[in-house]
Amino acid sequence: MAGPLSSTSLSPVRTFHPRRSRMGAQKLAALADLLPRYEWVPGRDPLPLGDVVMEIGFGMGDATLVQAAAHPTVTWLAVDIHTPGVSHLCRELDQQGLTNVRICVDDALDVLDGHIPDDSLSGVQVFFPDPWPKVRHRIRRLIQPLFLDLVAPRMRVEALLHVATDWDDYAVQMATVIGSHHAFEVVTAPPRPQTKYEAMGVAAGRTITDVAAIRRR
Ligand SMILES: C[S@@+](CC[C@H](N)C(=O)[O-])C[C@H]1O[C@@H](n2cnc3c(N)ncnc32)[C@H](O)[C@@H]1O
């Protein structure tokens, strides 16, 4: 059943543009061959045992790959709906021999809402979401109080929420909504790998801001 911030019940708050980028035959073949090996299907697959960090909007998987390699005992549940990125991550996981990443091709809001048990996630990461600077797009931004209401109960106590942006006004929004949410205590953000969108922001002269918080008891 859809909850308050699922894409079905709050359809105006769509946090991504559904788009079908063209993929060449090689990438399509890689997707068909490799995705079944890594895919995590909501409603079919139980959450992996042990520490699970959910990365929402992994893009090309830059941060996913580096972190998964550095923390082999943690499972990365990498969620995105952008198929070229899914294909790229599958190929890299195969080439690098990483086995601790599961890929979920779905709307993260629906996944959180219907398929992630309470007190289950060891971390949640959202790096450079919503790359739209226009004022009219702000209502679609992911990091807002309703999202925090959805994600907080699914995190274990002391689990880390880590978000980052290259838009100054979004950085203020992130710090404000996370800092004022009863379930979170803001902490110093740990280092993390650079991502593709981050590199684009840096190249354009924008400032990078990370906000991190632990789930309170
Ligand atoms: C601007 S890109 C950033 C990608 C990557 N984190 C980086 O920094 O390079 C945002 C990504 O989030 C994904 N995304 C946005 N909303 C989403 C949602 N509700 N569920 C799953 N993925 C989402 C988009 O498809 C896109 O790949």
pLDDT at 217: 86
Ligand 1 nearest-atom number relative to CA 200? 9
Residue nearest to atom 11 of ligand 1 (CA): 57
Ligand 1 nearest-atom number relative to CA 164? 8
How many whole angstroms from 108 Cα to the centroid of ligand 1? 9
Question: Residue 102 pairs with which residues in a beta bridge?
Answer: 77
Residues with CB under 6 A from ligand 1: 15-16, 56-59, 79-82, 85, 107-109, 127-129, 131, 195-198
Whole-angstrom Cα distance, residue 63 to residue 53?
A: 12
pLDDT at 137: 76
How do the pLDDT tens digits run along the chain, 217 residues long? 344 454 444 333 456 555 556 778 888 887 899 999 999 999 999 999 999 999 999 999 999 999 999 999 999 999 999 999 999 999 999 999 999 999 999 999 999 999 999 999 999 999 999 988 777 777 789 999 999 999 999 999 999 999 999 999 999 999 999 999 999 999 999 999 999 999 999 999 999 999 999 999 8
- Cβ contacts of 106-109, under 8 Å, gap ≥ 24: 106/42, 106/79, 106/81, 107/6, 107/7, 107/15, 107/16, 107/81, 108/15, 108/54, 108/56, 108/57, 108/79, 108/80, 109/5, 109/6, 109/7, 109/15, 109/147, 109/150
Residue nearest to atom 24 of ligand 1 (CA): 57
Question: Which residue of 10, 16, 54, 137 sits with most ligand 1 atoms within 8 Å of its CB, as the best mutation to test the pocket?
Answer: 16
pLDDT at 192: 98
* Structural domain boundaries in the chain: 25-215
pLDDT at 14: 56
pLDDT at 150: 97
pTM: 0.92
pLDDT at 3: 47
**Which amino acids are annotated catalytic?**
130
pLDDT at 69: 98
pLDDT at 54: 98
Question: Which residue of 13, 67, 110, 128 sits with most ligand 1 atoms within 8 Å of its CB, as the best mutation to test the pocket?
Answer: 128
Question: Which residue of 6, 20, 82, 170 sits with most ligand 1 atoms within 8 Å of its CB, as the best mutation to test the pocket?
Answer: 82
Ligand 1 nearest-atom number relative to CA 7? 19
SS3 165: strand
Ligand 1 nearest-atom number relative to CA 57? 12
Question: What CATH class has 25-215?
Answer: alpha beta
